[in-house]
Amino acid sequence: MDLAALHDIAVRMVEPGKGILAADESTGTIGKRFASINTENNETNRRDWREMLFRTETAMNDHISGVILYDETIRQSAKDGTPFRKLIEDAGAIPGIKVDMGITPLAGRPGETITQGLDGLRERLAEYYELGARFAKWRAVIEISHPDQYVGMTPSRGGIKANTHALGRYAALCQEANIVPIVEPEILMGGYHSVERCHEVTEKTLNSLFTELYEQGVALEGTILKPNMVVAGKKCKDQPSREEIAERTIKVLKDTVPSAVPGVAFLSGGQENEEATRNLDMMNKIGGFPWKLTYSYGRALQQSALFAWQGKAENYDAAQLAFNHRAKMNGLASLGEWSADIDAEVDA
């Protein structure tokens, strides 16, 4: 393991004013996104969509530090034959790869899931390194049960432990292959739970995660955390203010994440575009923490571009404008320099 090289990549991934584009939707997930714009989920459409993103110059050059790719995408080329890897590198961004193989029910723990993909991971990582990947991503999914459910409430201690253990094993294998691991324990934000409950579960999960990373010999200097923000479930009646979200998220991170970690790149998790930008901005306006706080958004970076595109070549420019805009706004948020006025003005 070359720790200096891993640290260098991790620092570049959270460079000020930049963040990560999560374009690693599996074929099923991209199908759901395409269904929302009545576009067929075939290889040509997936290629055209992602080529449009990777060729958006201002966004890619100025606001995207790295792109998380899916297995199909890291092997794919643009229409003119240029490998996607090269398009990304030419924009000064780092190619990354999703290596988890999705979730399956966790035996013995009804209502909980475990992420698959450890078998054969050493060999897959070696191949992905050859294909140009310098960081990877593994997502664990933690779901909070309904507040009225007392028997079998989730997540259980065992469920958290199983998922964070897998994240630790994945991260150690990545570093052995000189690939920076993004560790993503996502507490889902659907549901009725309160912000207090999300706070409690996020704290337990991150505590367990950093214990696992320590016990499995993972070097934190070469690791990036991709967590959820501390929010209430979407169906909860009492929604916290942006100040409360920012303060609780910073508190949980300070209580659990060692300062050796170079950066925290949040997932958007179903937040509205502007909401995800605004919450990140608020945290950076408050400041006073040892790590860089930035974005690793999928939907919150892509959604407006997807709707502008509608699966049609004639909407290419409109889609690039929309992607540029969201990337620029999130770039500002990563510096604590965003405002709703700038967002509306530049959008217009």
Active site residues per annotation: 184, 226
Is 73 a binding residue for ligand 5MM by CB under 6 A? The answer is no
Quick one: CA dihedral 127, 130, 133, 136, positive or negative? positive
Is 76 a binding residue for ligand 5MM by CB under 6 A? The answer is no
Q: Give the DSSP per-residue string, 142-170.
A: E-PPPTT--TT-SS-HHHHHHHHHHHHHH
For residues 112 and 97, give the distance between their C-alpha atoms in angstroms, rounded to a whole number.
Answer: 25
Q: Which stretch binds ligand 5MM (CB under 6 A): 77-85, 232-240, 292-300, 310-318?
A: 292-300
Is 74 a binding residue for ligand 5MM by CB under 6 A? The answer is no
Out of 66, 132, 263, 269, the residue judged to bind ligand 5MM by CB under 6 A: 269
Is 298 a binding residue for ligand 5MM by CB under 6 A? The answer is yes
Out of 128, 135, 297, 323, the residue judged to bind ligand 5MM by CB under 6 A: 297
Is 26 a binding residue for ligand 5MM by CB under 6 A? The answer is yes
| CB-based contact 154:195 (threshold 8 Å) | no
| CB-based contact 278:333 (threshold 8 Å) | yes
Q: Which stretch binds ligand 5MM (CB under 6 A): 21-29, 77-85, 104-112, 169-177?
A: 21-29
Helix (H, G, I), strand (E, B) or coil at 324: helix
Q: Which stretch binds ligand 5MM (CB under 6 A): 155-163, 170-178, 195-203, 261-269?
A: 261-269
Cis peptide before 155 (omega within 30 of 0): yes
For residues 313 and 320, give the distance between their C-alpha atoms in angstroms, rounded to a whole number.
Answer: 12
- Tell how far CA 229 is from the center of its chain: 11
Beta-carbon contacts of residue 123 (< 8 Å; ≥ 6 apart)? none
| CB-based contact 99:121 (threshold 8 Å) | yes
- Whichever of 233 and 298 has its CB closer to ligand 5MM, that residue is 298
Which of 92, 50, 68, 97 is CA-nearest to residue 296?
A: 68
Q: Per-residue x/- mask for ligand 5MM, residues 165 to 204, rule CB under 6 A?
A: ---------------------x------------------
For the segment 103-162, give every residue that binds ligand 5MM (CB under 6 A).
Answer: 139
- Whichever of 255 and 270 has its CB closer to ligand 5MM, that residue is 270
Is 219 a binding residue for ligand 5MM by CB under 6 A? The answer is no
Out of 22, 88, 133, 171, the residue judged to bind ligand 5MM by CB under 6 A: 22
Out of 99, 177, 231, 267, the residue judged to bind ligand 5MM by CB under 6 A: 267
Q: What is the crossing angle of helices 43-54 and 27-35, to 10°?
A: 80
Is 326 a binding residue for ligand 5MM by CB under 6 A? The answer is no
CB atoms within 10 A of CB 55: 16
Which residues make up the interface to ligand 5MM (CB under 6 A)? 22, 24-26, 29, 102, 139, 186, 267-269, 297-300
